[in-house]
Every structure is written in structure tokens, then in C-alpha cells.
Structure 1
Amino acid sequence: MHNPPALLEKLCTFNIDKANITAPGDDTRTLCAILELPDNEMTEKIPTLKPDTFKKLLMADIDHFQLDKPHFNDFYFHDLSKDTYKLKLPLPPHRKTVNDFILITSGSITKSAGIDTYEVTKNTIFILPVGQITTTTSISDNLKGDYCHFSNSFIAERK
């Protein structure tokens, strides 16, 4: 009998320097090209990114006052209607070292968790645990709501 978590891990792990990501306008690139890494940098697994690494690789037009806080890797809260940053969509498959909590009050965002894709819409909460493979493929222009990420140690250390 197969161990379900091990089987899922095997299904979701692939040789990413050979995986193509299709961006708007038929721009097909490898994950390594999107992350601007040498092709041999990540050949076995989907990368696990800390929030500050994610910020450097996958965000543009960053408001450094908001995103360069000392505890950014442990906790961050953001109003999605603010122009604090732009994501470089579509995001390539990756894992994160933090839990994501997204509350949508207007508009929509298309995200994946593992092998499932979700259209997160008005009055919906999306929670993504640490280590889960994820992507974001689209965000509506009228997106409003809140985003929060927090590390497991942030929760464990608070009394």
C-alpha cells in the first residue's frame, strides 16, 4: 500500500529545469529562467522560498517601507487594495516557509494548492499551509481583501 503523503510528494515533484511555464502572450520559459537562476540550480525539486526570497524573485514595484520590516519572514499583514507591490504573474510553482491566509472581499485571484486550482472570490478565505506547492496565475484588477503570512514559529513563540 502506498503512503499517501509520499505518493503526493512524488507526483508534485518534477525536474523543474525541464518544466515550461506559459505566461501571457505565449511567453514560454523555464522556471529557472523566470527566477533568473542557472539551469542546474534547481533540478530536483520545486523551490521552497522564504518571504524575503519570494519578494526578491517574484515581486516588482516594491514599497520598501512596507516590505522591509524586521520580522517580514515571520509575520506580515497587507491590504490587497494597496499598491505595495506587484506580482510577476504567472508565478512558477513553489513552496513557502510560511502559512498564507487570504480573505477576498471583492474581485478574484486564481491560486493553486497542490494539484488543485481555486478561483478565490468575494467573501472567501484561502489558507495555504507551510510547504504546500502553490502558484498564482491571475488577479483581477478590482481585487480587495487582506493577505497575511505567518511562520509556525511565530505562532508557537507567542504566549
Structure 2
Amino acid sequence: MAWVLVLIIAVIILISWLAGRKQPRRTLPTSTTLAQTPPRTATKPKRTLELLKSGYERKLRLTIKYETGNPLPGEPAIKVRNVDIYGIGEEYFDAFCYFRNSLRTFKISRVLSVTPGDQYYEIPRDYVPSRWVTEGVTGHLKGATRGRVK
């Protein structure tokens, strides 16, 4: 019977010790980028847009430093990409990405820096601008409907 009393006292001491202990503060790793956090800006936004538009008008390949909204675990948040811009809007631009070897849509506010290259390109005749480029966020979401994808 005495051992039960000792066990109860030990449990009470353990519980009170755990309750009084400070929990370490948990923080996200610095390499994690959440979609709702604004991107860091290395180049002034107006200058970035000017360089992107200039590259598009001159059909000049660009090297961009781009911050991904939600990188995969172990993947860097900031990436360097060589792109040919096919279409540019106020918030987004369509570009052929040489790393992915496909047409991608990039958000202008996530472009941290732009470096013009020395290679020229041509836009394919069958290129059709995405709604992100032609209408921006409001136009793109205007046509969105809820429901099941078939």
C-alpha cells in the first residue's frame, strides 16, 4: 500500500514539474516561405517592371531571380531562371522557362532582380496569353466557379 502512495506522490511531482517548465518557442525555418508573406525585394519594383517590359519589347532573354510562393521542403525559396517573355500584364507574365523547359506564368512582384542577356528569341505563332496576363487576378477569378472538376 505504501508503494501506491509513493507512486501517486511521484506522479504529482512530475506533473507540477512539467507544468512549470518553459516550452521552447517554435519558429519556422528561415528558408520556408509562406504564400501570404510578401516577397523580399532586391530590385525596386518599378525598375524590375521596366526591365521585364524592355526585355519583352526587345525579345531579349532574361535571367531573373525569383521567389517561390510555397517551395517544397528542402527546395530553395529563391531561384534563378533564364526566361523568354511571351506576354506581360500588370501583375503576371508568361515566359518560356529554360530550367523547366516549358511555358510558365510568373508573378511580377516575386521577381527580385532582372539581368538582360545577349540572346534574342521569337514568340511562337501558336502562343495564347494566359488569363493571368490578359486580365490579372480579378479577371482570372471572375470566371472561376466552384464545383467538381471532371
TM-score range, shorter chain: 0.3 to 0.5
Please tell me whether Structure 1 or Structure 2 has the larger radius of gyration of its CA atoms. Answer: 2
Name the structure with the higher helix share. Answer: 2
Name the structure with the higher strand share. Answer: 1
TM-score, scaled relative to structure 2: 0.34
TM-score, scaled relative to structure 1: 0.32
